[in-house]
Amino acid sequence: MILPFNLAPFIIPVLIIVLFLFLSLRIVPEYQRMVVLFLGRFQAVKKPGLRIVVPGIQQAFRVDLRVITMDVPSQDVISRDNVTVRVNAVLYFRVVDPEKAIIRVENYLNATSQLAQTTLRSVLGQHELDEMLAEREKMNATLQEIIDKQSDAWGIKVTNVEIKHVDLNENMVRAIAKQAEAERERRAKIINAEGELQASEKLLAAANVISQNPQALQLRYLQTLIDLSTENHTTVAFPLPLDILEAFGIKIGKQGQGG
């Protein structure tokens, strides 16, 4: 088959156009946005799909909108009570404004990491060691609020901050162990004293009841004999009423009487 004209002069332009289109096409996934600059000026934020970016005229920057998990390196922190600890944390954040994340900060990932490190040191340095160990949820909320407020200008939303580890040296671990042991002993003594107080109150109440009704003492005496009979005892004690002893001429001294 003979063509009526020569196609050779059109091959090179067609190849150039095809190559240009190939280099211009961009596929934007659902979880990304594409920030496009036209001759250095912000033009638009491209949504997911097949997009065209003209090489040499337009610049395209991809921004991931998914939640990013960032490990904050261990920081040396001096607490308010002058205790040196090493603390690390994990930061969860995502980009909510791709334009700000590209235009207003050079590298939003590095900037967020540095901000989290400095905030971790400054916030924990305002608390004592006991607060770091016992009030971790409160400090997590404080860290999240501060980092989120400062990174808002970069189009970043901090969703959560979690302190992972508070590492102490061996001397401090032993001191805390001694403190915990002393605290347990103090609680045991208080519980024992409270038990003695309650027992004395109950005994006083029982004595008042028996003094008002002498038959109650006899019933208690019989109940004690029943309890002793059910156990394997070789010795049984029989209490004698004071009136019987006085009947045999044995005088019993009583409190409150003169000599």
Condensed to tens digits (0 to 9), the pLDDT of residues 167-198 reads: 877 776 676 677 777 878 888 889 888 888 88
Given the DSSP bridges, would you call strands 84-95 and 49-52 parallel, antiparallel or unpaired?
unpaired
pLDDT digits (tens, 9 = 90+) for 187-227: 888 988 888 888 888 878 877 777 777 667 667 766 776 76
**Residue 36, pLDDT score:** 92
Whether pTM > 0.75 for this model: the answer is no
pLDDT value of position 110:
93
Lowest mean pLDDT among 87-101, 222-236, 239-253: 239-253
pLDDT score for 33 = 93
Q: How confident is the model at residue 17 (pLDDT cuts 50, 70, 90)?
A: confident
CA distance 87 to 71: 12
123 in Cβ contact with 140 (< 8 Å): no
**38 C-beta neighbours (distance < 10 Å), count:** 13
Which is nearest to 228 in space by CA: 69, 199, 220?
Answer: 220
Q: Which part of the chain is CATH 3.30.479.30?
A: 68-173
167 and 86 Cβ atoms separated by less than 8 Å: yes
**Amino acid 257: pLDDT:** 45
Answer whether CATH 1.20.1630.10 is correct for domain 68-173. no
